[in-house]
Amino acid sequence: MEELEGKVAVITGAASGIGRALADRFAAEGMKLVVADVEATALDAAVEELRAAGHEVTPVLCDVSVRSQVEGLRDAAVSAYGAVHLVCNNAGVGSGGQMATLTERDWEWVLGVNLWGVIHGVSAFLPLLLAQGEGHIVNTASVAGLFAAPFMGPYNASKYAVVAISETLFNELAMSGTDVGVSVLCPGWVATRIALADRNRPEALRNDEGAADPMSAMRDAFDAFIQGGMAPAAVAEKVCEAVRHKRFYILTHEESKASIDARFRALLDDGHPPMVMP
């Protein structure tokens, strides 16, 4: 999709972090925006800023872990603009801890947003894009979908799955001859609020009162890495270029390649998983 002006972009997790930067970047290209987030106050603020800058934007409050809400997002986009051309399945949360202490609720929350959110986004929007004969899907994974660091079990599992889904979709689209494209975004550390994602964790998926917080010993350390990470705007620029040129893998950090190489060398050499970090 080399020409973006006047086309429609749907972005989940758009109220902050990478999603907010994607909204700014694609708005600057003259795209009409449908921005979705589960955090109402932050979404309202983002929409106010985008509209104040003269951009055309439609907000939708959406929990991507719920299929009906993602289908509602699709319907709202079509109702507002008549079409959808770019879908950024970007909403995500971060949590972790030692595998021995993680609860089923920890797994359910992270997989519900990071994995099922992408599944719902692809299922809801792909038939629409195929019927149009044009469009592009960007699924946000992570370098944690290319190699597995310790203490990040649910997050790693979700991101590995997003990479696999995206690779499968790429080859299916290539076999079909359609002009619909797909990219998978695999960033390293990016300066976002993902370490505070627990603020939006549903009550039904919170651990029982008094239960140990699996992230308590690591949250400050992870947040330090995150806050020293790449600016979300720089990530959004790479995504925009990938959409324009139909590039599949979007790696944001050159230094990630050494860890990716170490993992695949271990695999090919019948070795052990290397101890690596994003």
Boundaries of every domain in the chain: 8-268
* 3-state SS assignment for residue 270: coil
Name the pLDDT band for 73 (thresholds 50, 70, 90).
very high
Q: Is 155 a catalytic residue?
A: yes
Spatial CB neighbours of 41, under 8 Å, sequence gap ≥ 6: none
Specify the CATH number of the domain 8-268: 3.40.50.720
Say yes or no to pLDDT of 125 above 70.
yes
Residue whose pair of structure tokens reads 């999603």 in the numeric block: 19
Return d(Cα 227, Cα 5) in angstroms, integer.
33
Residues across the chain: 278
Please give the backbone phi and psi of residue 61, each rounded to the nearest 5 degrees, phi first.
-75, 125
Closest CA to 98 of 226, 221, 263, 212: 212
Instruction: State how far the Cα of 212 lies from the Cα of 201, in Å rounded to an integer.
Output: 16
Residue 259 has pLDDT above 90, yes or no: yes
| pLDDT tens track for 144-181 | 999 999 999 999 999 999 999 999 999 999 999 999 99
Q: State both tokens at 180.
A: 């619909």
Identify the active-site residue in 81, 155, 160, 249. Answer: 155
Per-residue confidence (pLDDT) for residue 226, from 0 to 100: 75
Q: Is the pTM of this model over 0.85?
A: yes
* Dist. CA 229–CA 119, nearest whole Å: 28
Average pLDDT, stretch 30-38?
98
Name the token pair of 162: 């997003």
β-partners of residue 11 are 35, 88
